[in-house]
Amino acid sequence: MSSLGKIFLYAAVAGALAAVVGAWLLVSKYQTTKSNLDQVQQSVDVVKKEAAMAKAEKDAALKDKDAATKELEANKSNMDDMTAKLTAAEKAQGDLQASVKQANDALDKANQDLKHVTEVLGMSPDEAKVAIQKAQSEKAAAETEQKILADQLQAATKQVADMTDAINRTNDHGKMPPGISGRVTYVNRAWNFVVLDVGLANGVVPNGELIIYRGNNFLGKVKVTKVEPNDAVADILPSSKGDIQIGDYVLN
């Protein structure tokens, strides 16, 4: 083999070796890169798992937070209700205590009054109780009697009124017993009538005529128009000439 042939052979061998080395280097680099890539992928998978776990923990924490917030609000509402109930209970307790104090004060006063009464009357509490019951019974009897008398008075008053009305409506003759004597208590000059201090009890009846005088002076006559038990109303007759005044005498 010539020298040139050897050179080409060496060159070919060197190229082949270089190609083999290059291929080996490429394969080694590929394997290294693939290994690194696998490690990176594993790391990514781990990170994803950790992220998923972190999200799940976050969601659980938020859920727990919402539940805790609702529970806190419920507890706050219950606390407000209990506070209001406590306030109302304390007020009721205060009112009851005030009522009890008033009752105790009233009892103490009653005991003091009872003691004072027993000391003044010289009685024991039992004797004073009996005396009070007796006084209450007597008071009740007196009140009953008073009511009966009031009813009787009312009935009698109505009877007198009815009789007066009947007399005023039915007695048209004006007949009166002799000896009636009284005075003028009121004079109405506009309507020309007087009021007298004598009435049914004195024998005065409607349509009866009476004489009005002052001292020895004749003043005129009046005619009775309405009669009550102790007074009467009478018109001044046109024949009267004197100036009739309060205090003038009247007779028949």
Same domain assignment for residues 43 and 140: no
C-alpha 210/C-alpha 221 separation (Å) is: 6
Look up the pTM and report it: 0.37
- Reported as half-sphere exposure (CB side, CA atoms, 13 A), residue 46 has a value of 6
Same domain assignment for residues 105 and 200: no
Spell out the per-residue pLDDT of the chain, length 252, in tens: 677 677 777 777 777 777 767 766 776 777 777 777 778 788 778 878 887 887 888 888 788 777 757 865 775 676 566 667 766 767 777 776 776 677 677 667 766 766 776 676 676 777 777 878 888 888 888 788 888 887 778 777 776 666 666 566 555 567 899 999 999 999 999 999 999 999 999 999 999 999 999 999 999 999 999 999 999 999 999 988 889 999 999 999
Same domain assignment for residues 147 and 81: no
Same domain assignment for residues 2 and 92: yes
Last residue of a domain, one of 155, 170, 185: 170
Same domain assignment for residues 142 and 117: no
Same domain assignment for residues 132 and 91: no
Last residue of a domain, one of 87, 107, 122: 122
Q: Using a CB cutoff of 8 Å and minimum separation of 24, what contacts does 241-247 make? A: 242/212, 242/214, 242/217, 242/218, 243/219, 244/184, 244/187, 244/194, 244/212, 244/219, 244/220, 245/184, 245/187, 245/214, 246/184, 246/185, 246/186, 246/187, 247/183, 247/184
Which of 111, 129, 196, 207 shows the shortest CA–CA distance to 168? 207
Domain hosting 132: range is 123-170
Phi, psi torsion values for 170, nearest 5 degrees: -105, -25
Q: Residue 188 maps to which CATH number?
A: 2.40.10.340
C-alpha 246/C-alpha 252 separation (Å) is: 18
Same domain assignment for residues 194 and 98: no
Same domain assignment for residues 139 and 206: no
Same domain assignment for residues 104 and 221: no
- If one counts the domains in the chain, the total is 3
Same domain assignment for residues 52 and 81: yes
